[in-house]
Structures are given as C-alpha cells and as structure tokens.
Structure 1
Amino acid sequence: MDHPKQLWKPTQQFKDEAGLTTYMTWLQKNYHLSFSGYQELWSWSVENIATFWESLWKYFDIISGSPYEQVMTTDPMPDTRWFTKSSINFAEHIFRKYSDDRPAILFSNEQGVSKEISWSALKNSVASLQHSLKKWGMNPGDRMVAFLPNIPEATISFLAGNGLGMVWSSCSPDFGTTAVIDRFAQIEPRVLITVDGYHYGGKAFDKRAEVAEIVKALPTVEKVIVIPYLNTGLDVPQQVMWDEAVSSEAIDPTFIKMPFDHPIWVLYSSGTTGIPKAITHSQGGVLMELLKYLTFHNDVKEGDRSFWYTTTGWMMWNYLQGALLCGASIVLYDGSPAYPEIDQLWNLADKFGITHLGTSAGYVVANMKASAQPGKKFDLSGLVSIGSTGSPLPPEGFDWIYEEIGSDIWLTSISGGTDVCSAFVGGCPLLPVYSGEIQCRALGCDLHAYNEEGEPVLDEVGEMVITSPMPSMPVYFWNDPGKERYRASYFEEFPGVWRHGDWIRITPRQGIVIYGRSDATLNRGGIRIGTSEIYRAVDAVPEIADSLIVCIEREKGEFYMPLFVVLRQGEKLDETLIKKINSTIRSAYTPRHVPDEILVIPEIPYTISGKKTEAPVKKILMGKDPAKAIKKDALRNPQVLEYFIELANKINENNIRN
C-alpha cells in the first residue's frame, strides 16, 4: 500500500490543551496509569473495558440518583447491561452547563432568519413545555415524536420530553408520508410536534395534507403541537399551537432520573428492504458515548460553537445535541447546504464564528468539483476542525480542504452510524492527519478488520467488526421480542461479534480506510472492489456530476459491472468521454475496476438519509421483484427506480433470447 501524504499534525500547544490530554493526566493521577501515546491508550481502553467506562463515569462526574452495582454484566453482546441499578437523566447533564456568558443555540435558515437563544430562554422554554406535557398526563416512557426541520423548537421539545423520562423520535419533513408512518406507528406515540411545511433550495413545501394523513394513521396521538413555520397553520384533531404549549411561566425544568438503560430515543434504519428497524438507545449509553466522543475525539470545549449539517431525520442531529454536554453552543441550520450558492456552509461558518463544522463527504466533493474557494471568500479563522461523514471522503477531498480552507485545519473524517449514534472511528487531536485516512479507532471501541475466516488482519481489506460491547449499542429494537431482528442485523456472520457491514483496512499507522459497504461490494472474479474506489476515480472526471456502480454475478462465473452516471449540464456521453472515464479508473486502480458499460441516468437513487442504494439496484437488475428489493418510500427520489426496472426487463429479455 502507498504511504499517504501527511497533511496536518497538531502543534505541541494543541496537544497540551486537548481534552484527551487532560483525561490522560487525570488517569495518571487517579489510576496511576501512563501511556506513551494514543495507540497505547486505545489498547488499554479495549483490553480493560469495564475499567475504562468506569473511569469515564468518574471523570465526567455522572449524576446518578443511586450508585451503580456493576459497571457491566458478563452477558455477551447484545445482552450486556451497564451501570446496573444507577438512575440518570440526560437533559440534567445538559443543563449543568447553563451559562449566561454564551448562547445555547444559534439558528439560521434559508430565508435569512437568524437568532440566538440564551441558556435562560432555553431553560424557560423547556420548563414551560414540560408544564403542558405534565398537564396532559404524560408519563416516563411515553413517546414524543417530531415531524420537524432542524429548528430550535426540535431541541427544546427533545429536552423537555427527556427531562420527564419520555422517549424521543423524529423525522424531517422531507420524508414521505408512508416513511413517517412506518417509523412512528411502531412506537405508538402520545404526542406529535409538527410544522405546516418547510423551505429547501429556495422553494416552499406545504405539508398540511401529509400531516393530516400522519395524524390519522397514529391513533395513539393525543396532542398535536403545531409550529406554523410557513404561516399557513393546520387543522387537525387534538392540535395545540406551539405558543400556547410554551405559554406557562414555569422557570425550572424537571429532571426525572431513569434507569441507565431506559430508552432515550428511537432511531431508524434506512428501511430500503422492509419496515425500518426501530433502533432504541439508552439514556446512559448515549450520555457516556457522546461525552467521550465529543470531548476526546472532537475536542469540543466550553465556549466552542459546534455545527453539523443535518436534518432531524439523521442521527447526526442527535449527535449534535451532545455538544451542549460540553458547554458548547450548537449551531442549527434549516435549508439546503448549496443554496443560494454551493458554499453556503462556509458562509455560515463565517457568520457564526463556528469552531467545529461538520458536513458530508458528498458536500466536500461537490465544492471541489465546483472549484469553490471558500478560504478566499470567507473569514474561516475561527474554524478549529472540519468533520466529514456519511460516506468515505476520498483523498482528493482531504487535499481540497487543506488547499482551499487552510493548512492549519484539523480534518476529522469519521464513520459510525445510527446503530450507536456516534462514531466507531474518527478524530484524534494528538495524531497527524494523512490523506484519505481516518485517524484512529475510538476509545472503548474494540474494532478490527476480519478476513473471510474470521481472523483479524492488518493492512488488508476486511469486514469491520466490533468484538467487545459498548454502552451505546442499542438496548433493543422496538417490538423485537427475543432480539431476533437485532441479532440478525449484526451477529449472524460472526457469532458473538458485531459485523457492521463496511469494508475497511487498518493501516500500519493504525489509521482506517473505508472502502464502502460490504453488502454492495463489487466482486469481480473473486477480487473484491470497494465502491468508494470507483467513486473516487469518477469524481475526478469534471463532466460527471454523480455516479453509481454495481456488479451483477451471472452464470458460468461471468460478471456484468455497469457504471451509471449523471452528467453535468451541457455534457454528453460520447466515445471521448467514455474513454476518459475508463482510462481515469484504469490508471487510478486496475483494469478490473473498469466498468463493462457506462449508462447515463437522470439522477442517482438515494435513501432519505443520503445513502446511495447500490445493493437494492443490484437486486433489481438481477431480476428480484422491485417491491421486495427496496421500499420506494425509503428513497428521496423513488421515481428514478423506473429506469432500473426497465433496464432489468431488457437484461432479462436478452438472457431469454440468448
């Protein structure tokens, strides 16, 4: 493997001031442990799982209504229980960072609305909404669901419900009606908070009809809190306007301490092949994980301004709320990241003095292709780190950040998921950044690459697995007796070991390279090819706006590997461009990476959470019933599936003729 280019390394001052260094100093004083560097610390954290998590309980001074009996039980995954007999409240830990010296929330949207919400205003709004919830008879364990954009009311609602021990769940208003019902109906909510519509890309989207349909499909809902975001209002049963719901003069929030493993929220799998899995996380597991990751791996400190571009339908929204645990202000944005210009997020960083800016690999690549120069256009001097997630960030994306944003930026490419509402691998303020490489495995995350025999390998591509439990693993899937769906999702391939479904390589530097989803792997003649390698090469072709690749296994050991491309406006796929694409792929990788055919399509099918759908497309092209291959309502743009259905029919007709 090539030795990648080192793009950044922390100064001694940066390392000395890192939250991770403070923790290591604390370990030396309180546990008489000293480490030569991060890798030694990581090894200790996964070899001494119970001691590591116990140290975090003490280090972060977790508030518990009763002492714990055991740090962790000896039950194997997924039945391990943590900090038994303890009782905590997540929102209580948020509000212990109350300060009149800085805002709690900074908000902006496409329409140019900007506002700051002080800790005092946040506290009052949370207490006031809690007053209404209590008046309506809401109890710990009751579900509160939200159909909301990324607006302050979502954060207020979550904290209010959480303080009372309610279970949160949210979908963004760009979700289709069936997608929302498929998710919320599973958990039988008592309260729904909704808008009448939203804006995106300069357009208004009226959602009144959809909300009425959702309310009708959720018979357990007793109260519908309406935020008139488009100023059209709603007319649904049991509705209460937001201003009325927060009209009480209550000042102090209530914090009901719940068992450590009491649900905090329900997140959902993409639901591409069936009803989405209702992934249920625990109060304590999420609290411990977010404190660990944000403090040590994102280095979020009091007074920082933390931002991730996200909707309420993606786990990064939940993750972002955790920055409040660290005393940071959270920055919320509602709108398109590329409206009115591709560089809108950099504009936000300038406007709000963002310290930690999180985005997607796709956004970075889109800026790179558009030849954006945000470092020259905006004042980004406040930026300490840039986070990237959602899909693997190619080395060219790393290089673009350092060329166009600044040479002193700490770039933290991360990967985790809805499954743990955090990152398995990501940033480390003590280590250098290498092009195309994630810096480290996170503390307490016993992650390895397994070969097909289930053996750990180094500097080879293998299945990403986690071999020891983590507190933030789901406590269960909702409505999954005996944890059957839970076990089937992660533990079928390697008994007792969590298989996550990514191809990774752990480099000699202990960094991580991710090659894409293992269930969408291109297997050509026994050679496994990560989809991210193809995308990296195609991203370098300026005429191509987006792409998707699959490899279909045929009889007699033959393969058909088509590349689907979306052309930039004004471009056409002629022989010259085909040769250019193929030669770019061949020179970057091998002849095996070159597709059998290149086909133009109007757009790439994406899930609502922004993932390309290689595996379902592959199933459709192999002749599987499209209704069983993918649920259209799980897609952001389901109409594009018609193209693949027609192509599958042609392929099957040709096979019959031949």
Structure 2
Amino acid sequence: MTQPQWTPTPEAIDAAAVTDLARWLVEHRGLDAAAVGDYDALHAWSVAHPGEFWSGVAEHLGAGFVAQPTAALTGTGVRDAVWFAGATLNFADRLRLGEGDQQAVVVEHEDGRTDAHTYDQLRSDVASMAAYLTSVGVAPEDRVVGYLPNCYEGVVAFYAAASIGATWSQTGIDYNAPAAADRLGQLGATVLVTGTGYVFRGKTFDRTPEVAALRELLPTVTTTVVVPTLACTGPVDGGIEWSAALAAGGPAEFGPAPVPFEHPLWVLFTSGTTGKPKGIVHGHGGVLLEQLKSLGLHSDLRKGETLFWYTTPNWMMWNIQVSTLLFGATAILYVGDPLYPGAERLWQLVDRHGVNVFGTSPGQILASAAAGVEVPPCESLRLISSTGSPLPAAANQWVRSVFGDRVPINSVSGGTDIVGGFVGGSPITPVWDGEISARTLGVALEVWDDAGNPIVDEEGEMVITQPLPSMPLRFWDDADGSRYHDAYFSTFDGVWRQGDWATLTSRGTVIMHGRSDATLNRRGIRLGSAEIYAAVEELPEVLDSLVIGIDRENGDYWMPIFIVPGSGWRADESENRIREVIAARASKHHVPDEVILTPAVPRTRTGKKMEVPIKRILLGADPAAIGSLDATDQPDALVWFQHYAAERAIA
C-alpha cells in the first residue's frame, strides 16, 4: 500500500481543534467515541448527520446566536434546505474576541511600508464607520460597495456594513471602470468606498480618473467615501475623505445588530470570463459557520495566531483573509506583486511577521523552487495552504526540502460558490503528494459518471449530495431562481454539480483534474488539463503552458499546447521532450498535435488559466464580447490568441 509523504504525530492529533470538537460531539451529539482522532469516521458522521454536525460547530465554536434556532436543519434536498430557522446573529460580532492591544490587521506594501492596527482601533473604526453609514441613510440590506486595493479601510468598511445589516460587495481598484460597473452596477448601491491608486511591480497607478468614470456608471450612489491609497493623487470631487467620514460617525459603541441567519452578508461575483458576471449572495450565518469550520478546524487557527493569505479584493480569498478576525487572530494583508522584486518576497514577509498559517498558490511555490530561493527560517510557520489550481507533487517535495516534516502543505479546492473549501487537509489527515487529503467536514462529496453513478478511483464529475450552510442564498437579480438552478442543478436533478472534474480515491483523497467544461476528450478518452500541466511545467525550459481541445466542424479533434518558453528552450529538442513527458506521465492519448510558442498564458485576476475563454476565442469569439478582457490583467495576451485564431482560421 502506498504510504503518505507526511503524517501527523499522535501528539498533534490529540491537540488539534478538530479532535477537541470530536470529543464534544461524542458527549453532546452522539458521535461514536471511536471517531475521535479518526478523520474518516468523523467525516462520514458529519455528512450522515448534517444537522447535528453543524449545530455542534455553531455551539462548540461559538457562532454567537442571539435568538436561538428552532431547528438546525429543515427541508429535504440540497436546494430547499433551511438552516437554523429563527436564529439571529451578526458576522461582525466575533470581532469582540480580539485583545485590545493585539494587532488585528497588518498591511505590508510592496515598497516595504507597514501599517499596523490593533483590535481596539479596528472595533472603534468599525463602529464609527457604521454610524456614518447609518447617518447617510444606509439601512439593512442596502448595498455598500468598494473599489479598493487590499487595504485596512476595506476591512473596516466591510465589517461596518455587516454590523448594521447592509450588504457589502467590491472589486479591486485594478479593474477599469466599465468592468467594475459590470459587477457593482447590478446592485443599486447607495455608498461607494473607493481608493485613489496603487503600486504594482514598482509602478504607480493613479486611478482617480477611473473613480470619476465609475461614479458616472453607478447612478444610484449618493455618497462616495475616498480612501487616499496613493499619496500623489488629488482629491475626488464630491467625495468625503475617509478620516472625515470616521470623524462624522463620531465616537460610537461597537455593537453589531442581530440579523436573521440568512440575512445577506455580501455579494461575490463570478470571474465573468464567459459572460456577464453573476452575483452570488451569501448569508451571515452560513458564511460564519463555514469559516469556523475551514479556518478553525481545517487550519486549526487559534486566538493570537497570525494568518497571511496572498490575495486581492477580486478573489474570494479576500473574504477568507478577513475572516481571520473572527478568531481574535492577526490578518496580514499584502499590497503588490507576490513575485516582485523576486520570488523570495512572500517568504520574507512570512518570516518577518511571524506568520503561523500561510496561504499561497502553486505558481508562487513553483516559482520559488525554480528561482532557488533561499527561504528564511519562518520559525512560527506551522502550515502552508495552497489553492487556485491543482498542486503538483513537485511543490510538496520542494516545501519538504525546505522545512522537512515541520510544515505540511495542504492543497485546498473550493469556490466562490460556497466561499470555502470542498476538499482540503486538516491537522489530523496525512498528505499524499499530488493529491488533496480529504473531503472537508460536512461536505457530502462524490464523483459521478455521466449516468449519475458514484465512482471511485475513476475520473468524473464532482457533485455535492447534501446541503451546506454556505451555499448561496440566491443569485442577484434571479427572482425565479432559474439562473441558480442552471448553474448547479441542471445536470443532475437535485444534486449540486460544481463543474470540476475529479477522482475520489479508495483511500479518501481527492485528485482535481480541472474544470469539466475544459476537459480534454480525444476519441472518447478524457483527461483533465491539470495532469498535462503537472508533467510539462516541471521541465526547466517551460515557464508556463496552456492546453486546449477543440472539436472542429469537419469532425477532427485538434489539441495544441501553448508554451511560454524559458531561456533553455531548444526548438525541436524541447518540443520532443514535451511530447515524451506527456506520454509518460499523463497520457499517450493526449500528446498534443502541435506545440505553439506564446508570449503569455492569460489568467483570471484570481490566477486561474483562462482555458474556456481561450477555447472560445480560438473558435472565433471576440474577447471583449465574452467579457474576458475585463476578467484579466493580461488583455494583450488574450488579443494575441485572437490574432492567432484569425491567422489560422481554426474553426
């Protein structure tokens, strides 16, 4: 039997928060005592008894109900479940847990500047901003939107909106005004909180002209709060500066208002790579329980610890990042390029700030390995989590070469859809390189074939067969629920289809193969693109890659691989190496028809390769018409593919 490459010690298992929860569930919810310390047994119980499990999470980890629920779960099926009917709470209330003089939010800028804010300051600023929002007419369920870099003021504005029952949404300030308006303009917001600019890769970007353009595109906005995120910019006409808004709110008492469990907390948007972005509405209670589970159990985050997850306001990991504050822990925010001026940048930050939990991406880890980064001691680091794309085995191996067995790396996969993880690791699960350790607690995940039959050790569609508290309340502007149904339930009746292709192994691990709508299917033999990337991108002469499969009108199947070459690229020799490594390590049936050099592989602003949009562009779609130009910070790379498609007349 294959052995894991990392295994938790008995002492670590005994001390883990998830083990502590299991002991509590034995006493209070009827869990078999044999499940204590046995992750698989605990997971099986959590999906067989979802009401008992999630009520246990709420009670043991402290959801802070003001009015108690009449039942944890009512209704049957994934779509009509009702969680914690009658309960009231507020997501922001757990800010009370942080010690007054403890650092709550630390912001590090690309140029090395650092701003630190204590819990006393955070609670005071949240209370003042909440009072200001109320004074300008913001009421429960009104929308407050942000156009910001990754800054402290964005955290305050979000928690202030949540504390009065308003709904928050944002885009990063790197979006141009029309792209931001495609998202925020759907919401009918009354307040805009905006920055003035940002610095990225050593360059300064004054965004005040875009702010002016965005305000014109948001006619419902009556109040604009301006955060001076770039000192060299001038004032924004008609806006009130952040400090003045806080002063207008005055000294106020921190006291979030209780709201129903399903009261809307925020609206997150899909990437918009293949059409207008969809707004996903999540509720206070569901998101709170998901974070208590994900961060509190799977990452074992404790009061007084420090978490840093590299993200931007365009990605749902921003929402995970600010959820650090639910635990009385310190959140580190970084503003800038994670690889500038070199791949050592984030490791230095982890070391300098005593980070305990570091969240990153496979790309950052592999770039560090390729650059031969000298990683500082990072003595406080105890866990690395990786998400955004499948984590290749080589990344695990490099991390172990640096930290030994002291720091495991957990691969996580989830989605904006539930603002959390479907699969991931935990302090009590082993790690197998190239695989994800387990299905997360409470997630009834299966892999199905095309006929809807569960399969094991085979590739298929990842589905969720039981409800989760953090599933969307609804899509924005979807009164009859038809868009929500089409997104998740149109393939298998009553069962959530995530759109990911996966393998559930017989030992309970999960292998992610990429989006099912980007699956390679040559002569009926399917393969996820992730397997090809894992093979090809270990070659030193390959900086990046993108593989596409296209059914042509004449019945042929064309499968090229686009390569961003490194300095060691040697034409025919390197092309042959690519074909050989794919045949040996992925599939001989999926050796590409052509190897085509490209200057860049376009990614969404959350770092995912734009496989489906590029496939559509190669088939003749206009990048602007399908929304792809607004979804990436590499529009020139998309235009390159458009020109290539025109030259080849691919369709």
Contact 2:95/2:325 (<8 A) preserved? yes
- Counterparts of residues 266-277 of structure 1 (less than 5 Å): 266-277=267-278
**Post-superposition offset of 1:5:** 5.6
Cα-to-partner distance string for 1:17-68 (whole Å, 9 max, x where unaligned):
1100110111122224223311111111111111211222221233233221
Whether 1:497 and 2:498 are equivalent positions in the alignment is no
The one-letter amino acid paired with 1:127 is A
Contact 1:198/1:206 (<8 A) preserved? yes
**Post-superposition offset of 1:573:** 5.2
Q: Which moved more, 1:419-428 or 1:637-646?
A: 637-646
Contact 1:226/1:234 (<8 A) preserved? no
Cα-to-partner distance string for 1:552-608 (whole Å, 9 max, x where unaligned):
12356531111101122x455511111122222222233222111011111111122
Task: Find the aligned partners of 2:634 and 2:555 in 1 and give their Cα distance.
Answer: 34
Contact 1:8/1:409 (<8 A) preserved? no
Q: 1:466 aligns with which of 464, 471, 484?
A: 464
Q: Which moved more, 1:107-116 or 1:177-186?
A: 107-116
Whether 1:527 and 2:525 are equivalent positions in the alignment is yes
Q: Which residue of 1 aligns with 2:183?
A: 183
SS of the aligned residue for 1:443 comes to coil
Whether 1:367 and 2:368 are equivalent positions in the alignment is yes
Q: 2:628 aligns with which of 627, 631, 645?
A: 631
**Post-superposition offset of 1:626:** 4.7
- Counterparts of residues 358-507 of structure 1 (less than 5 Å): 358-374=359-375, 378-507=376-505
Task: Find the aligned partners of 1:555 and 1:479 in 2 and give their Cα distance.
Answer: 36
Q: Which residue of 2 aligns with 1:586?
A: 583
The one-letter amino acid paired with 1:79 is D
Q: Which residue of 1 aligns with 2:224?
A: 224
Q: Which residue of 2 aligns with 1:100?
A: 100
The one-letter amino acid paired with 1:180 is A
SS of the aligned residue for 2:34 comes to coil
Whether 1:109 and 2:113 are equivalent positions in the alignment is no
Task: Find the aligned partners of 2:533 and 2:397 in 1 and give their Cα distance.
Answer: 16
Task: Find the aligned partners of 2:24 and 2:111 in 1 and give their Cα distance.
Answer: 47
Task: Find the aligned partners of 1:61 and 1:599 in 2 and give their Cα distance.
Answer: 54
SS of the aligned residue for 2:480 comes to helix
The one-letter amino acid paired with 1:594 is V
SS of the aligned residue for 1:605 comes to coil
- Counterparts of residues 314-329 of structure 1 (less than 5 Å): 314-329=315-330
Q: Which residue of 2 aligns with 1:307?
A: 308
SS of the aligned residue for 1:246 comes to helix
Q: Which residue of 1 aligns with 2:265?
A: 264
Q: Which residue of 2 aligns with 1:35?
A: 34
Q: Which residue of 2 aligns with 1:136?
A: 136
Whether 1:515 and 2:524 are equivalent positions in the alignment is no
Q: Which residue of 2 aligns with 1:577?
A: 574
Task: Find the aligned partners of 1:556 and 1:130 in 2 and give their Cα distance.
Answer: 61
Task: Find the aligned partners of 2:433 and 2:41 in 1 and give their Cα distance.
Answer: 23
Q: Which residue of 2 aligns with 1:613?
A: 610
Q: Which residue of 1 aligns with 2:336?
A: 335
The TM-score with structure 2 as length reference comes to 0.96
**Post-superposition offset of 1:7:** 2.1
Contact 2:446/2:464 (<8 A) preserved? yes
SS of the aligned residue for 2:267 comes to strand
Contact 1:8/1:408 (<8 A) preserved? no
The one-letter amino acid paired with 2:253 is D
Q: Which residue of 2 aligns with 1:546?
A: 544
Q: Which residue of 2 aligns with 1:88?
A: 89
Task: Find the aligned partners of 1:626 and 1:348 in 2 and give their Cα distance.
Answer: 37
Task: Find the aligned partners of 1:483 and 1:112 in 2 and give their Cα distance.
Answer: 47
Task: Find the aligned partners of 1:159 and 1:625 in 2 and give their Cα distance.
Answer: 39
The TM-score with structure 1 as length reference comes to 0.95
Relative to structure 1, the CA distance from residue 91 to residue 506 in structure 2 (aligned partners, 3 Å threshold; closer, same or farther) is same
SS of the aligned residue for 2:481 comes to helix
Task: Find the aligned partners of 2:89 and 2:506 in 1 and give their Cα distance.
Answer: 41
Whether 1:145 and 2:153 are equivalent positions in the alignment is no
**Post-superposition offset of 1:235:** 4.4
The percentage of counterpart residues that share the same residue type is 39
SS of the aligned residue for 2:79 comes to coil
Q: Which residue of 1 aligns with 2:348?
A: 347
Contact 1:196/1:232 (<8 A) preserved? no
- Counterparts of residues 121-270 of structure 1 (less than 5 Å): 121-247=121-247, 248-270=249-271
SS of the aligned residue for 1:8 comes to coil
Cα-to-partner distance string for 1:188-215 (whole Å, 9 max, x where unaligned):
1111111110011111111111111001
Relative to structure 1, the CA distance from residue 134 to residue 585 in structure 2 (aligned partners, 3 Å threshold; closer, same or farther) is same
Contact 1:427/1:438 (<8 A) preserved? yes
Task: Find the aligned partners of 2:239 and 2:57 in 1 and give their Cα distance.
Answer: 43
Q: Which residue of 1 aligns with 2:558?
A: 560
**Post-superposition offset of 1:434:** 1.0
Task: Find the aligned partners of 2:627 and 2:171 in 1 and give their Cα distance.
Answer: 19
**Post-superposition offset of 1:14:** 1.1
Q: Which residue of 1 aligns with 2:293?
A: 292
Contact 2:94/2:327 (<8 A) preserved? no
Contact 1:504/1:513 (<8 A) preserved? yes
**Post-superposition offset of 1:500:** 0.5
**Post-superposition offset of 1:649:** 2.7
**Post-superposition offset of 1:549:** 0.5
Q: Which moved more, 1:632-641 or 1:517-526?
A: 632-641
SS of the aligned residue for 1:15 comes to helix
Q: Which moved more, 1:572-581 or 1:167-176?
A: 572-581
Q: Which residue of 2 aligns with 1:51?
A: 52
Relative to structure 1, the CA distance from residue 588 to residue 627 in structure 2 (aligned partners, 3 Å threshold; closer, same or farther) is same
Contact 1:380/1:405 (<8 A) preserved? no
The one-letter amino acid paired with 1:532 is A
Contact 2:29/2:52 (<8 A) preserved? no
Q: Which moved more, 1:640-649 or 1:177-186?
A: 640-649
Cα-to-partner distance string for 1:406-447 (whole Å, 9 max, x where unaligned):
321121110001000010111121121111111111111110
The one-letter amino acid paired with 2:215 is V
Task: Find the aligned partners of 2:303 and 2:624 in 1 and give their Cα distance.
Answer: 49
**Post-superposition offset of 1:4:** 5.6
SS of the aligned residue for 2:343 comes to coil
Q: Which moved more, 1:4-13 or 1:475-484?
A: 4-13
Contact 1:604/1:640 (<8 A) preserved? yes
Cα-to-partner distance string for 1:94-148 (whole Å, 9 max, x where unaligned):
32x1313531122211121113211111111111212211221211111111111
Task: Find the aligned partners of 1:219 and 1:626 in 2 and give their Cα distance.
Answer: 27
Cα-to-partner distance string for 1:262-300 (whole Å, 9 max, x where unaligned):
110000001112110000100110011111111111110
Whether 1:641 and 2:642 are equivalent positions in the alignment is no
**Post-superposition offset of 1:387:** 0.4
The one-letter amino acid paired with 2:318 is W
SS of the aligned residue for 1:72 comes to strand
User: Which consecutive unaligned segments of at least 5 residues does structure 2 have?
Assistant: none
The one-letter amino acid paired with 1:600 is L
Contact 1:175/1:608 (<8 A) preserved? no
User: Which consecutive unaligned segments of at least 5 residues does structure 1 have?
Assistant: none
Relative to structure 1, the CA distance from residue 4 to residue 535 in structure 2 (aligned partners, 3 Å threshold; closer, same or farther) is farther
SS of the aligned residue for 1:615 comes to helix
**Post-superposition offset of 1:310:** 0.3
**Post-superposition offset of 1:72:** 2.1
Cα-to-partner distance string for 1:131-176 (whole Å, 9 max, x where unaligned):
2112212111111111111111111111111111111111111222
Relative to structure 1, the CA distance from residue 249 to residue 6 in structure 2 (aligned partners, 3 Å threshold; closer, same or farther) is same
Q: Which residue of 2 aligns with 1:71?
A: 72
Relative to structure 1, the CA distance from residue 274 to residue 447 in structure 2 (aligned partners, 3 Å threshold; closer, same or farther) is same
